[in-house]
Amino acid sequence: MLPKLSFRTTTGGLVTTHDFGNVDAGSFAPDASGWEVRLHNDYEVDGRDSAQSVRINVRGSTGGIDEVWCQQHWVEMKSYGYSTGSTGMTDDAMTVFQPVGKNSPLSVGDIQSEGYRTLFIRINSPTSAEEQNISLQLVATYQDPQSAITKWITDISGNGVVPSTGDPFAMSTGALVNTIYHTGGYALINSNEIYYGSSGSYTLSTTGTGAYNIYLTEAGAFGETTGSVASNQLLLYEATISSGECTALADKRVYLPGLRSGTAGAIPTAPIIPGSIYFDITNGILYGAKTSTGWTAL
C-alpha cells in the first residue's frame, strides 16, 4: 500500500491546524526553539510502504508559492529525532534551522512504515516584514528525489562533487562576512544529480561560534551544522564561525571520477576492447598504493 503521512503531536494527536501566534518583525514565532511536531508514516498501522526521499515545504493558503513568506523563506525547519524502533532510518540530528519555501524544501530522507521523524518549525520574520494574518500550508511529499538531469553523468553512483565543471562548489568568504560565496557545478547525493549552472552565495543562519560543517542537500539547498551531515546531505566545507562571521574555510569536498563506457563523449569511437571503461582524470590525478606507507601518482 502507498505510504500515508500525517503530522501529529508528540502524544499522537492528529494536527490539522496550528496557530503560531503573533510575531513582530525581526523576531521568531513561537520562539527561537520552534514548534515541535512529528511526521508519521502509517500511524494507523495499515501495512503501508516506506516513504522514501521525503521532503517538506510550505505553501501559501491557496497552495501557491509566490507569497512573500514563501519567496523570502520566512519559515525555518530542522529535523532532530526519529522513531528508534524503525529499521533503516538515521537521525538527521540537525543543529541549525534551514530556511524553507520557494525552491528550497527540507529533505529528511526516508520514513519507514509505522515510523516518524521529529521536526522543529519556526517563523523567522525579517525586520522589514509588513504582512498580517498569514496562513500557510505545511506540505510533505515522498518518492520525490531531486530530478536527474543526466548532463554527462551516466551510471555512476556515490556521494560527491563532479570535477568536470572546473572547481565545483568552491567556496570563499567575501566583503559580507556572514556570506559564503560558491561556484556552480554538479554533485551526486545518493545518486541523485544536483546541478548549479552559475555561481551564487549562501548566507549563514547561525549566530554561534565554532566549527560548522557546510553541506548541500539533495534538494539543492545549502545548510550548516555543528554535528555530522545526514545521509541525504553532502559535506562541502568546514567553516570557522565567530558570532555569525565566517573567518576560515577548510575544503572537505569529495570528488567523483567520471566513469564512461561505450562511445559517448570524447572517448575513442572504436575502443580496442569493446565495452572498455574509460577513466576521465582530466581534472584530477590518479593515485595508486605503491607501498603500505603511501600513495603514488600514476
- Domain 160-251: give its CATH architecture: Trefoil (2.80)
- The reported pLDDT for the residue numbered 10 is 94
Where in the chain is CATH 2.80.20.10? 160-251
- DSSP state string for 13-36: PBPS--------TTSEES-TT-EE
- The reported pLDDT for the residue numbered 156 is 53
Q: How distant is the alpha carbon of residue 185 from its chain centre?
A: 15
What is the reported pTM? 0.60
- The reported pLDDT for the residue numbered 241 is 87
pLDDT in tens, the chain (298 residues): 889 999 999 999 999 999 988 888 888 999 999 999 999 999 999 888 888 888 899 988 777 888 888 888 889 999 999 987 666 677 888 888 888 888 788 888 889 999 999 999 999 888 888 777 888 899 998 875 444 444 444 445 668 887 766 788 999 987 667 888 998 888 888 767 777 777 888 888 877 788 999 999 877 788 888 888 887 889 999 999 888 788 899 999 888 765 444 334 444 454 444 444 555 555 566 777 666 667 777 6
Q: Among 183, 205, 184, 206, which Cα is nearest to 195's?
A: 184
Question: Using CB atoms within 10 A of its CB, is residue 146 exposed (0-12), middle (13-18) or buried (19+)?
Answer: buried
